[in-house]
């Protein structure tokens, strides 16, 4: 019962949706208990908190939240420093739209590549589309330290777990994607990102 008096995050240590929430927690420096849950092996306490048993699930006293974007926005409001969404409504809406586009355009491809039930041809096509799409947007990373922003944001928190998994996805970016490769190098070296990594994620790049 002690769990109800502290912040806990049920997290799949290999899943990119769980990783984005762990990045937010690390950016905020929040004291949290990370409870690793292998997919398909949900403990009873998780199922009590979340009827879907989905990951990630955040438990904050009597509140249980799931769906990673809901969890990320809650954490940004609950722990306002440093802010990970812009203050002004137009910029805020644009950030939410970027997150939505990452979800639709890239996360869907990542999920297809990693889905063991997907046909090989579908996986190959998804891998090709993701590589080409990331290469195509690479120039957008040339001017600012973060994705279309001077400051770290929830958009970066959604994008970085995908980029970290490129070796696992069988994707190597070409040299013309240098602005994106430089962004990855900068971001992966940051202390909060390093703190967010599970042992399984470190293994993805043999750290």
The proportion of the chain whose per-residue pLDDT surpasses 90, expressed as a percent, equals 93
- Backbone region of residue 94 per phi and psi (left: phi > 0; alpha: psi in -120 to 50; beta: other values): alpha
Return the bridge partners of 57, or none. Answer: 10, 66
Q: Indicate if the pLDDT at residue 15 is higher than 80.
A: yes
Q: Indicate if the pLDDT at residue 4 is higher than 80.
A: no
Long-range contacts, 147-150 (Cβ 8 Å, 24+): 147/98, 147/183, 148/98
CA distance 134 to 1: 45
* Predicted local distance difference test score (pLDDT) of residue 206: 81
Residue labelled with tokens 């390093």: 194
Domains annotated for the chain, with CATH where assigned, are 7-78 (3.40.30.10), 89-190 (1.20.1050.10)
CA distance 46 to 52: 9
Nearest to 180 by CA among 127, 126, 129, 142: 142
* Predicted local distance difference test score (pLDDT) of residue 207: 58
pLDDT single digits (tens) 144-198: 999 999 999 999 999 999 999 999 999 999 999 999 999 999 999 999 999 999 9
- Backbone region of residue 48 per phi and psi (left: phi > 0; alpha: psi in -120 to 50; beta: other values): alpha
pLDDT single digits (tens) 100-134: 999 999 999 999 999 999 999 999 999 999 999 99
Q: Indicate if the pLDDT at residue 93 is higher than 90.
A: yes
């Amino acid at each position: 019962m002690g769990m109800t008096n502290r912040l806990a995050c049920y997290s799949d240590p290999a899943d990119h949706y769980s990783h984005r929430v762990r990045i937010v927690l690390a950016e905020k420096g929040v004291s949290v208990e990370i409870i690793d849950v292998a997919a398909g092996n949900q403990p009873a306490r998780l199922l009590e908190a979340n009827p879907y048993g989905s990951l990630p699930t955040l438990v904050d006293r009597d509140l249980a939240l799931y769906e990673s974007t809901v969890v990320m926005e809650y954490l940004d409001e609950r722990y306002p420093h440093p802010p990970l969404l812009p203050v002004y409504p137009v910029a805020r809406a644009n950030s939410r739209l970027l997150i939505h586009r990452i979800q639709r355009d890239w996360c869907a491809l990542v999920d297809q590549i990693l889905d063991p039930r997907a046909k090989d041809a579908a996986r190959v096509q998804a891998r090709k589309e993701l590589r080409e799409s990331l290469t195509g947007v690479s120039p957008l990373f040339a001017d600012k330290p973060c994705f279309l922003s001077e400051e770290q944001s929830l958009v970066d928190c959604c994008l970085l777990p995908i980029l970290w998994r490129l070796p696992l996805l069988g994707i190597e970016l070409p040299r013309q994607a240098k602005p994106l490769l430089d962004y990855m190098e900068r971001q992966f070296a940051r202390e909060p990102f390093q703190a967010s990594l599970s042992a399984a994620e470190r293994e993805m790049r043999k750290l």
